[in-house]
Structure 1
Amino acid sequence: MKKTILLLLFVTVFANAQKAEKEKINKTLNDWHKAAADVKFEDYFNAMTEDAIFIGTDATENWVKPDFQTWAQPFFKSGRTWNFTALERHIFFDKTGNVAWFDELLNTQMKICRGSGVLIKVGKEWKIQQYVLSMTVPNDEVDAVIKIKAPIEDALIAKLQKK
């Protein structure tokens, strides 16, 4: 009986701790998206680890943090940033509780996009280690999208295959 009570207590404490960490991660991601919308360059990039990777919607957009900052800076300086809000988000943890990964559907100026990524716990804060932004395409419209992007991406495919 004592073992059962201890097990239930442990499970309850663990579940509550994980719920609190999910809330922190949700806040981190929501604040990160809001920092872009509010044109807050420092807040936006401080939410990321120093060795973070950002992968954008274009096949050529695979940036380490300093390169992403260089690309993004003109948008922040001109006040023409992006505004993403989460429609739904799923968060998962590794066994240590110090690494989390997520996927989210976003309302954006590009309509619905999918974000996914990895966060790591640095001290008591969660930081974005990797973020992948993808446009969604309704399955019935894939052929039309392929026709639009084929001329551009065929050239990129040929270039990448030569490496």
Structure 2
Amino acid sequence: MKKTLLACILSLFTLAAFAQPSDPAAPYTKQINAFIDEWHDDAAHARPAYFDKMAKHGVYIGTDKTELWNRDQFKAWAKRFFDKGSAWSFKATKRNVYMSADKKFIWFDELLDTQMGVCQASGVMRKTDKGFEIEHYQLSIAVPNPVADKVTKTIKDFEAAPSAK
């Protein structure tokens, strides 16, 4: 009996020695992911809270070269979509979250499943007394390298056309 008990205790110590330490930031990262997921869901359901999650002077950069807005400009541009009751639907398929040592500044990158196909984005958030707010978000369409030449040619041809000017 003593040998069995000793073997069990030694097994537990061995397992503990090889166990990975838990990530102390994991609960905070979970909150951050939930906030970003909710932000995307707010857009999908055209909830005004979408814009409330952006900092007053926050910046949104869309996929078109003309799409560089502060929060209020972005809200005005998006009004036509939000008035319909559904704007755009972005679902993160992968996200990396990073933060400053004091956890007040957060930056992230994400791959998104969207109506445009696969997109990628990066963002910067700040933790305030009221919660998180998005300071900067940049969206881009993920162009596979094998078709990049075709895409850039299409863009160059479009921009060279008189109607593009």
Q: TM-score, normalised by structure 1?
A: 0.81
Q: Helix, strand or coil: the match of 1:143?
A: helix
The amino acid across from 2:46 in the alignment is V
Q: Which has the larger radius of gyration?
A: 2
- The answer on 1:115 being equivalent to 2:121 is yes
Identical residues among aligned pairs (%): 38
Offset at residue 95 of structure 1 (A): 2.3
The CA distance in 2 between the partners of 1:111 and 1:27, in whole Å, is 22
Structure 2 unmatched runs, 5+: 1-20
The CA distance in 1 between the partners of 2:157 and 2:31, in whole Å, is 43
The CA distance in 1 between the partners of 2:108 and 2:72, in whole Å, is 23
The residue correspondences of 1:52-67 to structure 2 (distance < 5 A) are 52-67=58-73
Contact 1:84 1:108 survives alignment (8 Å): yes
Structure 1 unmatched runs, 5+: 1-11
Partner deviation per Cα, 1:45-91 (whole Å, 9 max, x = no partner) = 01111110000000111101110000001111023411110000000
- The answer on 1:68 being equivalent to 2:79 is no
Offset at residue 152 of structure 1 (A): 3.6
Offset at residue 151 of structure 1 (A): 3.0
Aligned to 2:3: none
The amino acid across from 1:142 in the alignment is A
Aligned to 1:138: 144
Aligned to 2:95: 89
Taking only aligned residues, the RMSD between alpha carbons, in angstroms, comes to: 1.8
The CA distance in 2 between the partners of 1:95 and 1:151, in whole Å, is 47
Contact 1:24 1:126 survives alignment (8 Å): no
Count residues with an aligned counterpart: 142
- The answer on 1:38 being equivalent to 2:49 is no
